[in-house]
């Protein structure tokens, strides 16, 4: 919408309010993480003591390592499965059950987490009764749960990219005798790589952040970082969580910004090459 | 390579089979099948055992009937006020939050769409960025803001505007705030995508013919952006309906949203069959908005 009239004063003030609403609470929390006083009401001077307290908190460190491991593994599998799903929906001609398949891809995106979590737990319990697997619930069952809901997000991202992409390169490769699998690996996948990377990142952050589904599918032994955080903040403000939140949100935002900059640059490069060649 | 016999090579068939079946079966086993199990267990009896629900079939010789199913859980849900209140309150909170999101999100999306392309991308990134960072920690940020000794109360006290802290945390108001804050990107993005693609010729024509700005908005822009309004509203409404984290962190004891009731039923009361029945009813409630969302997306594409 490139109208000659710019946004009105009303629209501009709503925009300012909206962005302030989105960012002020995070910035305030970040500021408090450097507050020497444990009370939010008093400013006790600049300090990094909550950060060093965090490094000595074994429970949080262990939970963070577990969460990072689950996030990395589930994001990788979700990217593989999600990309296959995207390919199936855009590059495979009609197949039986396509309608159900489309629904199965869309549903996890809007399904309330309590339902997904409860149903997966009951599946794991029933499977254990039937075939003896999984023996216990923990990292593996959480990973399976995270793969399931993250692959739907990746399928949507990859599908959108594939649908908007020119198929002539793939068709040319097929005409020259390339086998479908070869064409996928040599032509299609390199072209959709940026979408796969952003999909992987999204799956990683979704897994790292998930509380509800992990709570349902975890067993006695395994506590992920969100589960530890939730049990602490249920009781109110704790200064070391401010520090932890600052680290997590800061790192993720920086990572996302760098990644999107790289993806944008590579896309510009390919479109420039296409225009010049 | 010769394709004289016109039959598809085995390798190609296998590849096609792999691409379709692998994700299909994964979702069928880990997403679709679990619902059937929830549905089944919602007819079971809670028992003190591992797992805590009764068997569905009893083939032992002395059994009265081989099928053991009970409607007790559903009867209990309809008879106990707690569940009516929870479902009703979830619907109310989700509806009001969706309207609030729309009121804030529409002008934001409209404003972003009106900006120069360079600014537009930066603003869009700023809307999307929070969605990529931790949802749990962003909800926590509001505990820091709203608490009795939180940022807002200490600021107001220092300025002398109030003498005693205002109760803001652990109220329904905090729940609305948390939901709007969390789900606003889901409202802005679909709205932006319809507003950005909208042809301005109609608006210009209406303006040339003497229509006022608000007339142009209500007669042209708003009706044309309806697919975005519906998609955004459903993307906020559906997850808000089953929300658990926000009411349990920001809401008071009486913030009985259904997601929280289900969670408590499961983890605190350990009544798995009843939790399954609550989930089944919730699933039936969200089917309608999901179908609305699907049809609005078909319209958009």
Residue B6, domain member (yes or no): no
pLDDT in tens, A54-91: 889 999 999 999 999 999 999 999 999 999 999 999 98
Contact call for A3 and B203, based on CB within 8 A: yes
Are A27 and A81 part of one and the same domain? no
Domain count, chain B: 1
Average model confidence (pLDDT) for chain B? 87
Residue A162, in any domain of the structure: yes
Query: Is residue A233 domain-shared with residue A130, that is, in the same domain?
Result: yes
Q: Is residue B4 part of a domain?
A: no
Identify the closest residue of chain A to B146 by CA–CA distance. A25
Over range B34-51, report the average pLDDT: 85
A121 and A142 share one domain: yes
- Check CB contact of B187 with chain A, cutoff 8 Å: no
Residue bearing tokens 């029945």: B277
- Do A42 and A63 share a structural domain? no
In a domain, A103, yes or no: yes
Task: Report DSSP letters for chain A, one per residue.
Answer: ---SS---HHHHHHHHHHHHHHHHHHHHHHHHTTBSSSSSSS---B--HHHHHHHT-HHHHHHHHHHHHHHHHHHHHHHHHHHHHHHHHHHS---TTHHHHHHHHHHHHHS-HHHHHHHHHHHHHHHHHHH--SSS-SHHHHHHHHHHHHHHHHHHHHHHHHHHS--HHHHHHHHTT--HHHHIIIIIHHHHHHHHHHHHHHHHHHHHH--HHHHHH--SS---HHHHHHHHHTTS--HHHHHHHHHHHHHHHHHHHHHHHHHHHHHHHHHHHHHH-
Instruction: Give the CATH number, domain containing residue A89.
Output: 1.10.3720.10
CATH number at residue B98: 1.10.3720.10
Q: Which of A146-150, B47-51, B248-252 is predicted least confidently?
A: B47-51
In angstroms, the separation between the Cα of residue B71 and the nearest Cα of chain A is 19
Residue B160 inside a domain? The answer is yes
Q: How many domains does chain A have?
A: 2
Identity of the residue in A85, A110, A120 whose CB atom sits nearest the CB atom of B239 = A110
Range of the domain at B115: 76-300
Domain annotation covers residue A2: no
Handedness of CA A253, A152, A66, B144 (dihedral sign): positive
Q: Is residue A271 part of a domain?
A: yes
Task: Give the one of A10, A95, A253 whose C-beta lies nearest to B20's C-beta.
Answer: A95
Confidence at residue B4, expressed as pLDDT on a 0 to 100 scale: 46
A121, A255: one domain? yes
Query: Both A195 and A143 in a single domain?
Result: yes
pLDDT in tens, B215-247: 888 988 999 999 899 999 999 999 899 899 999
Q: What is the 3-state secondary structure (H, E, C) of B227-291?
A: HHHHHHHHHHHHHHHCCCHHHHHHCCCCCCCHHHHHHHHHHCCCCHHHHHHHHHHHHHHHHHHHH
Residue B300 clears pLDDT 90, i.e. is over it: no
* Residue entry with tokens 């929280």: B260
Angstroms from B80 CA to nearest CA on chain A: 21
Three-state SS string across chain B, please?
CCCCCCCCCHHHHHHHHHHHHHHHHHHHHHHHHHHHHHHHHCCCCCCCCCCCCCCCECCCCCCCCCECCCCHHHHHHHHCHHHHHHHHHHHHHHHHHHHHHHHHHHHHHHHHHHCCHHHHHHHHHHHHHHHHCCHHHHHHHHHHHHCCCCHHHHHHHHHCCCCCCCCCCCCHHHHHHHHHHHHHHHHHHHHHHHHHHCCCHHHHHHHHCCCCHHHHHHHHHHHHCHHHHHHHHHHHHHHHHCCCHHHHHHCCCCCCCHHHHHHHHHHCCCCHHHHHHHHHHHHHHHHHHHHHHHHHHHHHC
Could you tell me the residue range of the domain that residue A42 belongs to?
Answer: 8-47
How many CB atoms lie under 10 A from the CB of residue A232? 17
A113 and A226, same domain (yes or no): yes
> Which residues of chain B make contact with A12, given a CB cutoff of 8 A?
111
User: Mean of the pLDDT values across residues B163-187?
Assistant: 93
Helices B10-27 and A98-110 sit at what angle, rounded to 10 degrees?
40
Same domain, A159 and A209: yes
Does residue A96 lie in a domain region? yes
In a domain, B45, yes or no: no
Percentage of chain A beyond pLDDT 90 is 50
pLDDT at A257 over 90: no
Question: Do A197 and A238 belong to one domain?
Answer: yes
- Out of B38, B132, B196, whose CB is closest to A119? B38
Mark whether A158 and A42 lie in a shared domain: no
B147 interface with A at CB cutoff 8 Å:
yes
Could you tell me if residue B197 is inside a domain?
yes
Residue B31 lies in a domain: no
What pLDDT score does B29 carry? Answer: 94
- How confident is the model over B278-292, as pLDDT tens digits? 999 999 888 888 888
Rounded Cα–Cα distance for residues B50 and A125 (Å): 9
Instruction: Report d(CA A227, CA A209) in Å as an integer.
Output: 9
Is the pLDDT at A252 greater than 80? The verdict is yes
Query: Is A110 in Cβ contact with B293 (below 8 Å)?
Result: yes
User: What is the pLDDT averaged over residues A29-45?
Assistant: 82
- CB-CB: which of A23, A115, A122 is closest to B283? A115
Indicate if A218 and A132 belong to the same structural domain. yes
Task: Let me know: does A206 contact A224? Beta carbons within 8 Å.
Answer: no
- Is the Cβ of B238 closer than 8 Å to some Cβ of chain A? yes
User: Would A177 be classed as within a structural domain?
Assistant: yes
Q: Is residue B66 part of a domain?
A: no
Confidence of residue B53 (pLDDT cuts 50, 70, 90): confident
The predicted model gives A117-144 an average pLDDT of 91
Report the C-alpha gap between B280 and B270 in whole angstroms: 17
Structure tokens at A149: 């809901």
Residue A23 lies in a domain: yes
- Residue B57, domain member (yes or no): no
User: A110 and A209: one domain?
Assistant: yes
């Amino acid at each position: 919408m490139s109208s000659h009239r710019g946004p009105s004063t009303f629209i501009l003030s709503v925009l300012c309010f909206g962005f302030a609403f989105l960012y002020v609470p995070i910035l305030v929390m970040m500021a408090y993480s450097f507050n020497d006083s444990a009370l939010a009401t008093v400013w006790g001077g600049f300090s990094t003591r909550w950060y060093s307290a965090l490094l000595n908190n074994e429970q949080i460190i262990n939970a963070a390592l577990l969460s990072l491991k689950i996030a990395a593994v589930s994001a990788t599998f979700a990217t593989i499965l999600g990309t296959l799903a995207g390919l199936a929906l855009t590059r495979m001609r009609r197949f039986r059950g396509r309608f159900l398949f489309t629904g199965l891809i869309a549903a996890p995106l809007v399904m309330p987490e309590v339902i997904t979590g409860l149903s997966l737990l009951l599946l794991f319990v029933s499977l254990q009764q039937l075939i003896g697997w999984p023996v216990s619930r923990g990292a593996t069952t959480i990973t399976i749960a995270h793969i399931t809901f993250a692959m739907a997000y990746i399928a949507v991202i990859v599908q959108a990219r594939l649908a908007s992409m020119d198929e002539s390169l793939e068709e040319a490769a097929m005409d020259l005798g390339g086998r479908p699998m070869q064409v996928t690996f040599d032509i299609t996948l390199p072209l959709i790589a940026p979408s796969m990377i952003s999909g992987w990142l999204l799956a990683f952050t979704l897994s790292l952040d998930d509380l509800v589904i992990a709570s349902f599918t975890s067993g006695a032994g395994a506590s992920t970082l969100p589960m530890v955080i939730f049990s602490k903040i249920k009781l109110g403000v704790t200064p070391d969580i401010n520090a932890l939140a600052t680290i997590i949100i800061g790192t993720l935002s920086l990572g996302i910004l760098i990644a999107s900059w790289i993806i944008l640059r590579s896309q510009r490069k390919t479109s420039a090459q296409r225009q010049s060649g | 390579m010769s394709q004289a016999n016109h039959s598809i090579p085995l390798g190609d068939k296998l590849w096609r089979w792999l691409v379709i079946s692998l994700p299909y079966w994964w979702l069928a086993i880990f997403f679709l099948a679990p619902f059937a199990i929830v549905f089944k267990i919602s007819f079971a009896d809670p028992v003190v055992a591992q797992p805590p629900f009764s068997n569905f079939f009893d083939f032992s010789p002395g059994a009265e009937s081989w099928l053991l199913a009970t409607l007790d859980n559903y009867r209990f849900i309809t008879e106990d006020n707690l569940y009516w209140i929870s479902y009703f309150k979830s619907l109310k909170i989700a509806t009001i939050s969706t309207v609030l999101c729309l009121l804030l999100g529409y002008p934001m999306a409209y404003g972003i769409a009106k900006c120069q392309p360079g600014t537009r991308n930066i603003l869009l990134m700023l809307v999307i960025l929070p969605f990529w960072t931790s949802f749990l920690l962003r909800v926590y940020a509001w505990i820091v803001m709203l608490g009795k000794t939180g940022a807002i109360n200490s600021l107001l006290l220092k300025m002398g505007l109030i003498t005693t802290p205002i109760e803001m945390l652990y109220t329904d108001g905090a729940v609305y705030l948390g939901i709007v804050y969390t789900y606003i990107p889901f409202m802005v993005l679909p709205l932006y995508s319809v507003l950005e693609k909208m042809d301005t010729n109609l608006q210009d024509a209406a303006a040339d013919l003497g229509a006022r700005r608000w007339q142009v908005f209500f007669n042209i822009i708003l009706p044309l952006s309806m697919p975005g309004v519906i998609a955004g509203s459903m993307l906020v409404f559906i997850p808000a309906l089953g929300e658990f984290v926000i009411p349990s962190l920001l809401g008071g004891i009486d913030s009985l949203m259904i997601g929280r009731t289900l969670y408590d039923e499961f983890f605190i009361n350990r009544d798995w069959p009843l939790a399954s029945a609550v989930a089944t009813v919730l699933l039936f409630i969200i089917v309608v908005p999901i179908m609305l969302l699907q049809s609005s997306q078909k319209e958009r594409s």
